[in-house]
Amino acid sequence: MANLSGRRQSPLYHVIYIEREREREREREREHRIILQEVQMKGPYHKKALTNTAVKQKRSQLFTQEAQRQAALITDIEKIEVQYDGQPENCTLIMNKGMSTPYNCAQHINQMMMERSVLAEVDGQVWDMHRPLEDNCTLRFLHFRQSDPYYANKAFWRSASVMLGAVLESSFKDNLYVELCSYPSPNVRSGSFVYDVDLKIPEWEPSKEELRTLSGEMVKLSLAAHRFERLEVDASVALKMFADNRFKTQQIPQMAAQSTSGNTVVVYRIGDFVEVSRGPMMAGTSHLGKVSIVAVHPIETNEAQLFRVQGVALPRGFLLNHFAYGVLEKRAQQMNSGRLPLNISSTEPQTQASTL
Amino acid sequence: MNQAEIRKLIPAVRVAINAKHRKFSNPKGPEGRLTMLRKTVTELVKLERVELNYQRGDEARGYAERLIAMAIKHGDRHIPTMEMANYWLTEKQLVHKLFKVLAVRYKDHTESYTKLHKAPNIYPGFYRERVVLELKGNPFPPLEKKNSSHNWIHNILLEEAHQDYIRKKLKEGERSN
């Protein structure tokens, strides 16, 4: 080959070139190894990091599948007689066994009953509005303005906690994998509803704006007017749903053991947020009116740094002047005295703050 | 004669009364109106609970209140009062009821002797406001169920906040002592 440039080329030119190339290759390999080591230290290279959005979708999908499976089990529609006792007049309704809910009964009665009722009382037992009726029964509706709305208030407080859980799980960026722990048994007299949560942050003192944002998210959830869908599932299904939450995986077997059937737990869904709880819950998120998230207190456990998030709320339609509501908000800032979640890795028999 | 003395002569009516009376157009004129109201007042004293149109119920209420107040104040030995009772109660045995039953029943009352409840309109019907006029302390079951708001959620929260405040104040007091 003619050397056009006229420059003399060393006979070793190609060898030197190849040597240099190899050296570069080796360098690159070294770099790759370092990166790989880093990745291996962090976790499996091929696996995507867990995000709350993905986990939420998975749970909601499992919920839908299970609901469809259970609905498919009912092949014949049987009729039941429901004796309604209350306003505007007592009546008998013919409903579908295992399908119709107290809410459906209210739809037959009138709009006010539909919108106002928080819970139902079926044969004297407190019943969710969206829980199918199982047999002939007597039916009453409970609401917030009865002379003693004990169960409605309690369900309201419990539902507010669950809604707070839903907000906490969806409000943070995806790089923080928020794990919900539990909430103590709802007690209105304590002045605040609570959710204990592992935010994967060592320290957090939320600013006023951050708290207001959380409150705003609660309002959005309330305006979305989701129903509290109820489903009784086998513990194995629940464990599959909550496989990505280390607290719930511990709580589910205990809750299943305490249930009447011995192996089932109740899961609720609002929008696409799924929560395991014994219930009962109010009919829908739209019952939540004025609400504010007021405080976040750190809780030490021996495995994780948890936070106790607290808020106060009133049902829709309860008007309170801003001064009086301010008094309630101020009181809700105090650390709630409800039972703390257990030390997660303790082996001794524990008194767990189970999700009631 | 100044106002203080008028008040001594005529017992005050304990319900709000319109400045102008209702005319209730009647073929017999004002006399017919009074006949109508006498009928209502007599019914009320007799039955102790009557359902009426609002206008008639509200108008008759004032006359019934005045009659009872006079009976309590003057008793049955007072000629003008007896004349009033004779005029307003068309059934004469009710005069005895007025002095011997109602005057005794309401002797120590500090509020009005009658109560006016709103009554529901029955559909379809005439869209006149209906009311139930009753004498207080009648033997019938109560019309309005008392629904206490003591256990409503905001009242529970406010009550607990109040208790908290008292506890805090007591502690502060102990500390300063």
This model of the complex carries an ipTM of: 0.81
Average pLDDT in the A27-38 region? 76
SS3 A329: helix
Which among A144, A327, A331 is the nearest to B153, CB-wise?
A144
- Distance between B108 CA and the closest CA of chain A, angstroms: 31
Query: Nearest chain A Cα to B150, which residue?
Result: A147
> Pick the residue with more confidence: A6 or A29?
A29
Using pLDDT thresholds of 50, 70 and 90, give the confidence band for residue A20: confident
Quote the CA–CA distance of A280 and A297 in Å, as a whole number.
27
pLDDT for res A39: 56
Does A147 sit within 8 Å of B151, measured CB to CB? yes
From chain A, pick out residues whose CB is under 8 angstroms from the CB of B150. Answer: 147
Report whether A80 contacts A135 (CB < 8 A). Answer: yes
The residue with tokens 């809780």 is A299
- Distance between B123 CA and the closest CA of chain A, angstroms: 14
Least Cα distance to A244 among A66, A51, A65 occurs for A51
Average pLDDT in the A140-152 region? 95
Delimit the domains of chain A by residue range: 150-332
Average pLDDT in the B149-170 region? 95
A87 CB near a chain B CB, below 8 Å?
A: no
> Pick the residue with more confidence: A16 or B94?
B94
Cβ burial, residue A19 (10 Å; 0-12/13-18/19+) = exposed
For domain A150-332, is the CATH number 3.30.980.10?
A: yes
From chain B, pick out residues whose CB is under 8 angstroms from the CB of A312. Answer: 157
pLDDT for res A167: 96
pLDDT for res B1: 54
> Pick the residue with more confidence: B2 or A50?
A50
Using pLDDT thresholds of 50, 70 and 90, give the confidence band for residue B10: confident
- Distance between B173 CA and the closest CA of chain A, angstroms: 20
Average pLDDT in the A215-221 region? 96
Above 60 in pLDDT, residue A132? Answer: yes
From chain A, pick out residues whose CB is under 8 angstroms from the CB of B148. Answer: 147
Using pLDDT thresholds of 50, 70 and 90, give the confidence band for residue A46: low
From chain A, pick out residues whose CB is under 8 angstroms from the CB of B155. Answer: none
pLDDT for res A350: 38
Element housing B58 (H / E): helix B54-74
Using pLDDT thresholds of 50, 70 and 90, give the confidence band for residue A123: very high
Partner B, chain A 126-165, Cβ-Cβ below 8 Å: 144-150, 153, 156
User: How many CB pairs below 8 A link A and B?
Assistant: 51
> Pick the residue with more confidence: A106 or A16?
A106
Residue-wise pLDDT for B17-72, tens only, equals 999 999 999 999 999 999 999 999 999 999 999 999 999 999 999 999 999 999 99
In a mutational test of the A interface, the residue from B144, B151, B168 whose CB has the highest number of chain A CBs within 10 Å is: B151
From chain A, pick out residues whose CB is under 8 angstroms from the CB of B157. Answer: 188, 191, 312, 328, 331
Q: What are the backbone dihedrals phi and psi of residue A87, each rounded to the nearest 5 degrees, phi first?
A: -75, 155
Distances from the Cα of A336 to the Cαs of A154, A183, A260, A298, A308, in angstroms? Answer: 16, 11, 30, 12, 8
Residue-wise pLDDT for A85-95, tens only, equals 998 899 999 99
Report whether A276 contacts A255 (CB < 8 A). Answer: yes
DSSP letter, residue B102: I
Instruction: Give just the sign of the alpha carbon dihedral A350, A351, A355, A356.
Output: positive
> Pick the residue with more confidence: A232 or A27?
A232
Among A251-255, A280-284, A337-341, B66-70, which stretch is predicted with the lowest mean pLDDT?
A: A337-341
Partner B, chain A 170-209, Cβ-Cβ below 8 Å: 188-191
> Pick the residue with more confidence: A260 or B90?
B90
pLDDT for res A271: 93
- Distance between A77 CA and the closest CA of chain B, angstroms: 37
Percent residues over pLDDT 90 in chain A: 72
A320 CB near a chain B CB, below 8 Å?
A: yes
Does B152 sit within 8 Å of A149, measured CB to CB? yes
Helix, strand, coil percent values for chain B (each to nearest 5): 55, 10, 35
pLDDT for res A10: 60
Average pLDDT in the A114-139 region? 96
Average pLDDT in the A60-82 region? 94
Above 60 in pLDDT, residue A111? Answer: yes
Above 80 in pLDDT, residue A40? Answer: no
Does A331 sit within 8 Å of B164, measured CB to CB? yes
- Distance between B165 CA and the closest CA of chain A, angstroms: 10
Does B154 sit within 8 Å of A314, measured CB to CB? yes
